[in-house]
Amino acid sequence: MKKSYFLLVCACALLTGCKHTSSSLEIRLNQVGFRPLQEKTATIDVYTADAAPCSVAILSETGDTVWTGMASATMINPLSGKPRQLVDFSTLTTPGRYTLHLAPYTLHRDAVASFTISPRPYRELTRQALRAFYYQRTAMPIIEPYAEGFARPAGHPDTLVLVHASAATAERPENTIISSSGGWYDAGDYNKYIVNSGYTMGVFLMSYEQQRAYYDTLHLNIPESTLPVPDMLAEAMYNIRWMMTMQDTDGGAYHKLTEPDFEGFIHPTECQKPRYVVLKTTPATLDLAATLALAARIYAPYEHVYPGFVDEATEAAKHAYEWAKANPAIYYDQPAMNEQFTPAITTGAYDDFQAQDEFYWAATELYLLTHDPLYRDEALSHCPDTFIPAVWGNVSELASLEWMLHPAGIEAFAAQRQADLLAHLQPYIDEAETSSVHRSPYGNRAEDFFWGCNSEGCCWRGIECLYAYHLTGNELYLTNAERCLNHVLGQNATGYCFVTGFGTHSPKQPHHRLSNIYPNGPLPGFLIGGPNRERQDDGIDGVTYPENVSADESYLDFRPSYATNEVTINWNVTLFALTAGLDALYQ
């Protein structure tokens, strides 16, 4: 660094309080792209709480200054205590690639953040977030041209699966061999779980229903792309077919298909452990019923592609619901199960000890499929009193959203559910408007940062905002959906764009066995879990967090960090549902 240059830098810093270093992460913004007319902001790291507002300029690729302005007064991030400023450059609307500079910008080409403005910034992100499910397929080789650089042999055929003692019946005694082939690996591990698949399929197919025209033209480059069915529905069918194999002859659904304990970080073809289907549970069975009822409705126009599917799925859904009515409180308690049966099972529990929400969702989907008023009455009787955002273990909001979208006959009930949704969102939207250092309705409270929060907190809140926008027409909800996406794509306390393969600074070491097998990894298009104030993996396998790290910075791009850096199907579904929901509006 030349001396004169250095002195100028220091002088500016002293005068303005703006911090200049070579790291582009001093400026945090959406690293994937903005559409021309959306709100655009960046968060700037400053030295001190009394820092004067930074002077900001935006330069085009040819070096022309196309926008200048001032950042906000300094705000304090309530979680870390760090001073930040916001700059709002929404008035820049011309598509192009730009760099954002802090003064004296003509000398500081390194104190910058780059970004793009384009009419369709999320099209490729949506495509890859959906292709992530293709990469997760079990039991078939991932081959070119579909692999797009990430080919691998088939893993886990699951044609010889053992019935665990916990799931034995007279018809299928312990160690009976069944085939339960296909479907997606659930997450960073190699197992398959019905409760998580059910929630994932719910969000997946409801997103399709909301944006049929959009998804009908979205080409994923998968082996089924030649079929006369939207690629997205073909991809979903790969998992639905597997889910159907998880139904026992009595109607109940096995909770999961699993090895007894997790495989190491090895290639899927190297796995040797036996695979079991374990205990049939009420939540799993109701999630299966809801998924198949929803699928029977969504796939009805494609009977010519999947002959017999609608009838088969309808009957399976009804059968599952009947089983759950007869067995309304069988829950997956892994420690208790292991005291009673062998071998012990220690993989993901997905334990859920409340099935009222699954009854509500399954009955809702069965009503929307069959129009049998008995299912409607069952659904209304199971609607919870309080609003709870949807997660794999609590799916009541999926049912409520269905009633908001299909209110015929129960308009007052549906209107109350909508009022509950809007009331839930309002405090977060108020925070985005008034106090958020990231101009976001998510990420302003310590409790926002939990295991999987990038999906279950941030992206899902964005999806709720999108539903609110569609239901009310109020553009403030659309703005806040985009703000949630900005947060997960880089305008956050870590400066990471939390989708593999996207942005200028994204995770490179996800806790993902499949990604680990590629020298050119990680696999692209995966949303990773994100900062997690509970840090359950601290001290395990070399995971170490900085002392006194804040909730919003409790993140490690480190392969063993399962509590902050894993991937899962239920997280990726919210990513693409949000990006697709926005991209569909930009057409």
Active site positions, annotated: 189, 511, 557, 566
Considering only 45-53, 349-357, 398-406, 551-559, which stretch makes contact with Ca ion by CB under 5 A? Answer: 349-357
d(Cα 309, Cα 245) in Å, to the nearest integer? Answer: 13
d(Cα 276, Cα 253) in Å, to the nearest integer? Answer: 13
Residues with Cβ within 8 Å of residue 212, at least 6 apart in sequence: none
Select 364 or 561, whichever has its Cβ closest to Ca ion.
Answer: 364
Closest CB 195 distance from Ca ion, rounded Å: 8
540 — alpha (psi -120 to 50), left (phi > 0) or beta?
beta
354 binds Ca ion (CB under 5 A): yes
287 binds Ca ion (CB under 5 A): no
d(Cα 202, Cα 196) in Å, to the nearest integer? Answer: 10
d(Cα 493, Cα 158) in Å, to the nearest integer? Answer: 42
Closest CB 94 distance from Ca ion, rounded Å: 48
d(Cα 177, Cα 190) in Å, to the nearest integer? Answer: 19
Select 169 or 354, whichever has its Cβ closest to Ca ion.
Answer: 354
In this structure, the dihedral spanned by the alpha carbons of residues 220, 224, 226 and 227, taken in order and rounded to 10 degrees, is -120
Select 354 or 370, whichever has its Cβ closest to Ca ion.
Answer: 354
Q: Are 320 and 286 in contact (CB under 8 A)?
A: yes
Select 157 or 393, whichever has its Cβ closest to Ca ion.
Answer: 393
Q: Are 489 and 503 in contact (CB under 8 A)?
A: yes
* Positive/negative CA dihedral, 156, 159, 165, 167: positive
Q: Residue 140 has what DSSP assignment? A: S
H-helix or E-strand spanning residue 117: strand 112-117
- Nearest-CA neighbor of 25 among 9, 51, 44, 41? 44
> In terms of DSSP H, where are the helices of 371-459?
373-382, 396-405, 411-434, 453
Query: Which residue type does 421 have?
Result: L
Q: Per-residue string for binding with Ca ion, 509-548, x by CB under 5 A?
A: ----------------------------------------
d(Cα 73, Cα 85) in Å, to the nearest integer? Answer: 6
Select 352 or 583, whichever has its Cβ closest to Ca ion.
Answer: 352
Q: Per-residue string for binding with Ca ion, 372-401, x by CB under 5 A?
A: ---------------------x--------
- The count of residues interacting with Ca ion (CB under 5 A) is 4
45 binds Ca ion (CB under 5 A): no
Question: Within positions 71 to 110, which residues make up the interface with Ca ion, using CB under 5 A?
Answer: none
d(Cα 534, Cα 512) in Å, to the nearest integer? Answer: 20
Closest CB 202 distance from Ca ion, rounded Å: 13
Closest CB 118 distance from Ca ion, rounded Å: 41
Q: Which of 158, 357, 448, 482 contacts Ca ion by CB under 5 A?
A: 357
Residue 519: CB atoms within 10 A of its CB come to 4
- Nearest-CA neighbor of 205 among 368, 320, 393, 350? 368
Select 248 or 357, whichever has its Cβ closest to Ca ion.
Answer: 357
Q: How far are the Cα atoms of 123, 340, 354, 391, 474 from residue 214, in angstroms, in the given order?
A: 10, 50, 36, 25, 22
**What are φ and ψ of residue 137, in 5° steps?**
-65, 135
- Cβ burial of 240 (10 Å; 0-12, 13-18, 19+) is buried
* Positive/negative CA dihedral, 160, 166, 170, 171: negative
Select 343 or 393, whichever has its Cβ closest to Ca ion.
Answer: 393
Closest CB 395 distance from Ca ion, rounded Å: 7
Select 392 or 477, whichever has its Cβ closest to Ca ion.
Answer: 392
Closest CB 285 distance from Ca ion, rounded Å: 12
> In terms of DSSP H, where are the helices of 17-148?
123-135
Closest CB 313 distance from Ca ion, rounded Å: 22
Residue 473: CB atoms within 10 A of its CB come to 9
Closest CB 380 distance from Ca ion, rounded Å: 18
> In terms of DSSP H, where are the helices of 53-193?
123-135
Direct distance between the N- and C-terminal alpha carbons of the chain, in angstroms, rounded to an integer: 47
Select 26 or 352, whichever has its Cβ closest to Ca ion.
Answer: 352
Closest CB 106 distance from Ca ion, rounded Å: 58
Closest CB 391 distance from Ca ion, rounded Å: 9
Select 245 or 354, whichever has its Cβ closest to Ca ion.
Answer: 354
Q: Which of 235, 259, 352, 378 contacts Ca ion by CB under 5 A?
A: 352
Q: Which residues bind Ca ion (CB under 5 A)?
A: 352, 354, 357, 393
